[in-house]
Structure 1
Amino acid sequence: MIEAHHGIQSGSDAESRDPLARLAESSVDLILGLQDPSGAYPASPTFSAYRGYCWFRDGAFIADAMSSAGASESAERFFDWCARILVAREPAIVEIVSRALAGDPVPDAQMLPTRFTFAGEEGEDDWWDFQLDGFGTWLWAVAEHSRRHGTGLGRWARAIELSVDYLTSSWQRPCFDWWEENASEVHVSTLACVAAGLVAVAEAGAIDGRRLEQALDASESIRSTIVERGLVHGYLAKWLGSTEVDASALAAVAPLGLFPASGEIGSRTLMAIDDSLNVGGGVHRYLDDTFFGGGQWPLLSCLLGLGYAAAGDRGRAVELLVWAAGTADRDGALPEQVGDHLLDPSRYQEWDDRWGPVARPLLWSHAMFVRLAVEVGVVEVLPA
């Protein structure tokens, strides 16, 4: 039985599901043990390209999972880390916003980076840095945490305001996607993260006046833009004008809920991704993926599972959770991806030569496993 300090305990499901509960519990332990004293969640403690960095996007999903499992203090320490970074960059954000409103936007290189060192500094090595999604995702996660636990948002108020200003002034800009690719496109998953964050803090009462109006106007414009230009055959596409499907769009359905699983767009998106990217329970990013040969990502299987859980299909959700659990090694560490079904095996070695073996553990994988385990009741949340 897990200790109460992390907030989850084994559920009352059949004994056959106990390994799932144990992996969820050990995942919470792993995340707690690796969280930096600053509050940052390391993307992966050993993978050469990720070591020493925390992403707003990955970290926000990790914080949401920890919050859902009852580990409130851990989530709030991450939100504190985000807030310190944003407030420290207030002059830069004010300039970005003012120039955008004046029709003279700053170059991409002067926009906020997507990842920071644990100390809150920009990285010194080259990276695909300009991404907007993380700043929307942290807004959504902090507001969701407030809703879930009744926590006030005052301690993060200025950081929330700065994030809203940054996003409402810049959401239409092309930037790198979740996978740090295709910088010249406007990506549906990015737009979904931005809109979900703006809606969440608006509904939480974290903003008011003109800022509230701007957030609601932008979120509605984003939703309309996606419906008008970001659908193909009725499901969410990879980017505006694309005919491809990308598993990152799953987040728009669940957990973000911008296009609910019960609605036509949400249900069509689940089916499209399930049909084209799911092989035996393991979900690929997109069909032309060549990163480490284009393997299957446990965190994406868990996102698909969250979609099915939101649609009321717990059985499918648990099947996907079981597949994700099967990717853990003997120490219970979940990877970024597995190579059982590669889309392009000829491209695996170049990445191994460049960065070493696939990231393991990847904290985002553990977080999505926890989030789905809580959602389907494999583990239960203790009272706060």
Structure 2
Amino acid sequence: MILVTQSIAVIEAGQGTNGAYVACPSYSSYNYCWFRDGTFIAVAMDRWQKHESARRFYDWATALVVARADGIERCLENVAQGRPLNPADLLHTRYTLDGRQGDEDWPNFQLDGFGTLLWGLQHHMQLTDPPTMPSVWARAANLLVRYLAALWQRPNSDCWEEFSDQIAVSTLAALYAGLHAISAAFEANGQDATLALDTARQIKAFLLGSGVRDGHLIKQIEGEDVVDASLLWASVPFQEHSFLQPSDPVMQATVARIEQDLVGKTGGVHRYAKDTFYGGGEWVLLTALLGEYYTATGNLTGGQRCLAFVEASANEQGHLPEQVSRAPLHPEYVEHWLGCWGPVACPLLWSHAAYLSLSAQVRESGL
């Protein structure tokens, strides 16, 4: 429980007064709040009964979306008229803690975080009795559903902020989960869920038709026969809103390929085989995510092994890094990134959140 307590403390210290979670306070490129990271952090805090912290994040995120409603409407109008998109109208993927867009050149057209946010909103609302959707949340959710319905078939950067000319299968898995989840929230609040449900169904059909190769999911739509550890999103942590259930044969085959190709020499999980970022180390949050999958399938040994890897990755201060480089896939790139950006980001709040979520799942399962 020591690392659980420390993880909660790290997250609380990294939350701004307005509710935004900084990705990493000591790593300049990560002095922002991403919708993706922030939602996974908020969900973890909810799982450990830190509901006020989670609510403050969702208040911040939904207010930010609503504040950019004019740009979203212009974007949707351009799509409807068949005109090119104006990058200035697209929702950015990350913001400073006070809600400003970053000035640096950054791959801002990323959609997965908006699906994740929709799922997180519904997850949090389930904890209230009765489940209520504040007006700002409702307006933001409707804007995001329309935005995703219009744009989901367009290439965009994946969750690693790479391959902007492709469509990542894990991105669509996150969008399916978010749209499916928010449709349940809409129905519970007497709102029209038709667009969310229809878009989710379209995404699922597209994934099954173009995102599967030889019985398993692949990294990119109609891409090479390779996997990415983010494909775990097809099943966990979205649970009942997942595109695939843990026992689905396609999911089982996908995890088997991840185990074969991406579980590293020291037991952690790499992102993908050609990853050269800091040499392509083993990622703490992905190892925890694999542990969630194992736990969901009743694999006690696998879940505990992943939990032990994460705990062993903490430094003397109890801080978890983004990745560990004890056995990188491409060691020749380690020094390059150390020279560019310094040491690996630590503490990474998403890593701490992934640990909290796995710890909660282990506890709840009685394993």
Whether these two folds match at TM > 0.5 is: yes
Distance 1:341 1:149, change over 3 A: farther
* Aligned match of 1:325: 311
Q: Distance in 1 between matches of 2:254 and 2:235?
A: 8
* Aligned match of 1:25: 5
Is 1:44 aligned to residue 24 of structure 2? yes
Deviation readout 1:337-369 (Å, 9 max, x if unpaired): 010111111111111111110000000000000
**Which runs of no fewer than 5 residues in structure 2 stay unpaired?**
none
Distance 1:321 1:343, change over 3 A: same
Find the partner of 1:163 among 118, 138, 144. Answer: 144
Is the CA contact (8 Å cut-off) linking 2:295 and 2:365 kept in structure 1?
A: no
Is the CA contact (8 Å cut-off) linking 1:54 and 1:117 kept in structure 2?
A: yes
| Deviation of the 1:250 alpha carbon | 0.8
Q: Distance in 2 between matches of 1:196 and 1:88?
A: 24
Amino acid at match of 1:300: L
Is the CA contact (8 Å cut-off) linking 2:133 and 2:189 kept in structure 1?
A: no
Deviation readout 1:74-128 (Å, 9 max, x if unpaired): 1110000101111100111111112212222414453111100111110011111
* Aligned match of 2:97: 118
Is the CA contact (8 Å cut-off) linking 1:161 and 1:207 kept in structure 2?
A: no
Is 1:54 aligned to residue 33 of structure 2? yes
Greater than 4 Å deviation, 4+ residue runs? 206-211
Is 1:181 aligned to residue 162 of structure 2? yes
Find the partner of 1:276 among 261, 267, 271. Answer: 261
Distance 1:349 1:110, change over 3 A: farther
* Aligned match of 1:298: 284
1:334 counterpart SS class: coil
Amino acid at match of 2:315: D
Superposed, 1:1-384 pairs within 5 Å as: 21-51=1-31, 53-108=32-87, 110-150=89-129, 151-155=131-135, 156-205=137-186, 212-242=193-223, 243-256=225-238, 257-279=242-264, 280-377=266-363
Q: Distance in 1 between matches of 2:170 and 2:227?
A: 11
Amino acid at match of 1:354: C
Is the CA contact (8 Å cut-off) linking 2:322 and 2:348 kept in structure 1?
A: yes
* RMSD of Structure 2 on Structure 1 (CA): 1.8
| Deviation of the 1:213 alpha carbon | 1.5
* Aligned match of 1:13: none
Distance 1:149 1:24, change over 3 A: farther
Q: Distance in 1 between matches of 2:63 and 2:40?
A: 18
**Which runs of no fewer than 5 residues in structure 1 stay unpaired?**
1-20
2:269 counterpart SS class: strand
Q: Distance in 1 between matches of 2:188 and 2:64?
A: 19
TM-score by structure 1 length?
Answer: 0.90
Q: Distance in 1 between matches of 2:157 and 2:188?
A: 28
Q: Distance in 2 between matches of 1:205 and 1:372?
A: 28
| Deviation of the 1:148 alpha carbon | 3.8
Amino acid at match of 1:245: V
1:49 counterpart SS class: helix
* Aligned match of 1:8: none
Is the CA contact (8 Å cut-off) linking 2:118 and 2:181 kept in structure 1?
A: yes
Q: Distance in 1 between matches of 2:187 and 2:35?
A: 19
Is the CA contact (8 Å cut-off) linking 1:153 and 1:206 kept in structure 2?
A: no
Distance 1:175 1:109, change over 3 A: farther
Q: Distance in 2 between matches of 1:288 and 1:59?
A: 27
Q: Distance in 2 between matches of 1:327 and 1:149?
A: 35
TM-score by structure 2 length?
Answer: 0.94
Is the CA contact (8 Å cut-off) linking 2:75 and 2:86 kept in structure 1?
A: no
| Deviation of the 1:208 alpha carbon | 8.3
Is the CA contact (8 Å cut-off) linking 2:227 and 2:257 kept in structure 1?
A: yes
* Aligned match of 1:14: none
Is the CA contact (8 Å cut-off) linking 1:137 and 1:197 kept in structure 2?
A: yes
Task: Tell me the percent identity.
Answer: 41
Is the CA contact (8 Å cut-off) linking 1:262 and 1:310 kept in structure 2?
A: no
Distance 1:72 1:210, change over 3 A: closer
Is the CA contact (8 Å cut-off) linking 1:157 and 1:206 kept in structure 2?
A: no
Is the CA contact (8 Å cut-off) linking 1:55 and 1:115 kept in structure 2?
A: yes
1:282 counterpart SS class: coil
Q: Distance in 1 between matches of 2:360 and 2:330?
A: 34
Is the CA contact (8 Å cut-off) linking 1:290 and 1:347 kept in structure 2?
A: yes
Q: Distance in 2 between matches of 1:149 and 1:43?
A: 27
Distance 1:122 1:206, change over 3 A: farther
- The total of aligned residue pairs comes to 359
Deviation readout 1:109-153 (Å, 9 max, x if unpaired): 531111001111100111111100101100001101222444422
| Deviation of the 1:36 alpha carbon | 0.6
